């Protein structure tokens, strides 16, 4: 572990070696000021997890069941927006109208043990769904990195995990129920309301509000997680082999270190091992300390990091998959993630690393690379193509404009489609060019919600005609 004590000792040595020039802190920012807690009309503030999106809804609601939700949708002022954990960085949720949480429409609603099917209420948080499915011998085939999202929110934004043969979460949805703008409750699957099923499986909350989801799951398994550090050049060269060799594989590039942390998960019959406290959050803050104190000299920063990281031992742990694939992430950040044709991922990542390390010495958050299998949902970023994702993060106190200025042009140049919940500047014409069925989705949205009761200002910019 790169502790602050180790860092300070090493930093002092490098300063003396440089002729006694003391290190100076760079990049340190105060926490951005919060918006007022209420607007002039007395409406209370809603703010997303990272703090960059907010609004003052006129009405807030937490319906207890589907019938109450349907009645609310019929009568409440628009735009009507549903909110889960608020982990989207794009302005999907903000509304001056009605904000709806599904927290009371949560929990397992039945299962079929033989078919490995589970019916889940849409407000269920992923952290709660894992143990609930495990209790009936099932697990979701894949999970995202963070476990706080609601199921509806994760599906609606095409949230994903990693694995060359594993689809994003919505790829395993067999059916769902949707409350539409006129208060109808529709059952949708591949044969019943099939076009709506194709359009709203990744629906951004623009087609209606999900209430119940039918998932096709896998038998519950233990998995072995391994984590090790190695040079980025080695990881990029081995990336195709790693993808083929492991059920789940991803890696993080640690900026200004030349090193990656490779993480694999594979099914195992081995007994569970004691789970040590996670060191991920301490590691991120140690990288921040390295940036703060040595950001003035990328060369010394890299030298110190390599010296410390080279001594870290690999990690091995065995537990149920839901316990390891999704994690607690209390350190707030803002994020941009694009999904590229898989064959473009490595070169795009090289370009991103070079651009950041040439132009932005304040970046310290690890850059994440994952792989995702294709699916057929109309608004899925993985529609009809195997994908490799690149996610670049900025600490919530830091300026994140570099994501738009430096990172996004590279990812767009390589054919990337943005994660729906993460920062991007794309508009309707861009989505039409990137998604073969985007116009079909636009037509379906107009048909199901002709008055646009589920469209806030941002979504009008997504779904209006180019």
Average pLDDT for runs of 10 along the chain of length 466: 43 41 58 92 97 97 97 96 96 98 97 98 97 97 94 98 98 98 97 98 98 98 96 98 98 97 97 83 90 93 88 92 90 97 98 97 96 98 98 96 98 98 97 98 97 97 80
Q: Which of 101, 125, 148 is the last residue of a domain?
A: 101
Find the CATH number of the domain harbouring 192: 3.30.465.10
The reply to whether 150 falls in a domain is: yes
The reply to whether 61 falls in a domain is: yes
The pTM score is 0.94
Place of tokens 């699957």: 189
Q: At what angle do helices 4-17 and 298-309 cross, to 10 degrees?
A: 130
Total domain count for the chain?
A: 3
Nearest Cα neighbor of 285 from 406, 397, 421 is: 397
Instruction: Looking at the structure, tell me whether residues 161 and 268 fall in a common domain.
Output: no
For residue 276, what pLDDT is reported? 76
Distance CA 337, CA 166 (A): 18
Instruction: Looking at the structure, tell me whether residues 381 and 331 fall in a common domain.
Output: yes
For residue 24, what pLDDT is reported? 52
For residue 7, what pLDDT is reported? 44
Backbone angles phi, psi at 338, to 5 degrees: -120, 150
Instruction: Looking at the structure, tell me whether residues 74 and 131 fall in a common domain.
Output: no
The reply to whether 38 falls in a domain is: no
Distance CA 391, CA 396 (A): 15
The reply to whether 334 falls in a domain is: yes
Residue 394 CA: distances (Å) to CA of 26, 285, 298, 382: 15, 12, 18, 24
Distance CA 81, CA 208 (A): 9
Instruction: Looking at the structure, tell me whether residues 52 and 88 fall in a common domain.
Output: yes
Encoded tokens for 13 = 């040595």
The reply to whether 149 falls in a domain is: yes
Find the CATH number of the domain harbouring 84: 3.30.43
Instruction: Looking at the structure, tell me whether residues 158 and 300 fall in a common domain.
Output: no
State the CB neighbour count (10 A cutoff) for residue 401.
9
For residue 228, what pLDDT is reported? 96
Instruction: Looking at the structure, tell me whether residues 268 and 338 fall in a common domain.
Output: yes
Find the CATH number of the domain harbouring 335: 3.40.462.10
Instruction: Looking at the structure, tell me whether residues 246 and 319 fall in a common domain.
Output: yes
For residue 465, what pLDDT is reported? 63
Q: What is the DSSP-derived secondary structure letter of residue 63? A: -
Instruction: Looking at the structure, tell me whether residues 380 and 260 fall in a common domain.
Output: yes
The reply to whether 133 falls in a domain is: yes
For residue 248, what pLDDT is reported? 98
The reply to whether 444 falls in a domain is: no
Which residue range forms the structural domain that includes residue 60?
46-101
Instruction: Looking at the structure, tell me whether residues 272 and 204 fall in a common domain.
Output: no
Instruction: Looking at the structure, tell me whether residues 272 and 377 fall in a common domain.
Output: yes
Instruction: Looking at the structure, tell me whether residues 136 and 196 fall in a common domain.
Output: yes
Instruction: Looking at the structure, tell me whether residues 215 and 317 fall in a common domain.
Output: no
The reply to whether 269 falls in a domain is: yes
Q: Which of 401, 418, 435 is the last residue of a domain?
A: 418
């Amino acid at each position: 572990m790169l502790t602050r004590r180790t860092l300070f000792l090493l930093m002092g040595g490098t300063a003396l070696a440089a002729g006694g020039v003391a290190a100076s802190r760079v990049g340190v920012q105060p926490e951005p000021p919060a918006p007022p807690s209420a607007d002039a009309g007395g409406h209370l503030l809603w703010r997303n997890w990272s703090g960059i999106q907010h609004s003052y809804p006129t009405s807030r609601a937490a319906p207890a069941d589907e019938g109450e939700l349907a009645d609310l949708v019929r009568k409440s002022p628009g735009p009507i927006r549903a909110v889960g954990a608020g982990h989207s960085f794009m302005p999907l949720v903000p509304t001056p109208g009605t904000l709806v949480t599904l927290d009371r429409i949560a929990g397992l609603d039945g299962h079929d043990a033989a078919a490995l099917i589970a019916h889940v209420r849409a407000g269920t948080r992923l952290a709660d769904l894992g143990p609930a499915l495990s209790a009936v011998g099932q697990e979701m085939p894949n999970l995202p990195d963070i476990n706080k999202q609601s199921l509806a929110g994760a599906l609606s934004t095409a949230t994903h995990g990693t694995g060359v043969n594993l689809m994003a979460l919505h790829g395993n949805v067999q059916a769902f129920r949707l409350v539409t703008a006129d208060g109808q409750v529709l059952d949708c699957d591949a044969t019943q309301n099939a076009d709506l099923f194709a359009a709203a499986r990744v629906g951004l909350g623009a087609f209606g509000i999900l209430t119940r989801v039918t998932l096709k799951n896998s038998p519950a398994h233990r998995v072995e997680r391994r984590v090790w550090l190695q040079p980025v050049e080695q990881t990029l060269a081995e990336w195709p082999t790693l993808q083929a060799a492991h059920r789940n594989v991803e890696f993080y590039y640690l900026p200004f270190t030349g090193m990656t942390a490779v993480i694999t998960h594979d099914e195992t019959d081995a007994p569970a091992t004691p789970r040590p406290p996670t060191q991920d959050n301490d590691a991120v803050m140690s990288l921040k300390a390295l940036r703060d104190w040595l950001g003035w000299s990328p060369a010394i920063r890299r030298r110190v990091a390599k010296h410390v990281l080279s001594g870290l031992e690999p990690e091995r742990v065995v537990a149920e998959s839901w316990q390891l694939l999704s994690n607690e992430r209390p350190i707030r950040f803002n994020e941009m993630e694009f999904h590229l044709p898989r064959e473009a991922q490595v070169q795009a990542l090289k370009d991103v690393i070079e651009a950041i390390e040439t132009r932005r010495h304040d970046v310290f958050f690890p850059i994440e690379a994952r792989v995702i299998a294709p699916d057929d949902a109309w608004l899925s970023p993985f529609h009809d193509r195997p994908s490799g994702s690149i996610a670049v993060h900025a600490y919530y106190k830091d300026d994140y404009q570099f994501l738009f200025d430096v990172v996004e042009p590279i990812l767009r140049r390589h054919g990337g489609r943005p994660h729906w919940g993460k920062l991007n500047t794309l508009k309707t014409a861009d989505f039409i060019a990137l998604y073969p069925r985007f116009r079909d989705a636009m037509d379906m949205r107009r048909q199901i919600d002709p008055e646009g009761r589920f469209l806030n200002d941002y979504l009008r910019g997504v779904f209006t005609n180019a």
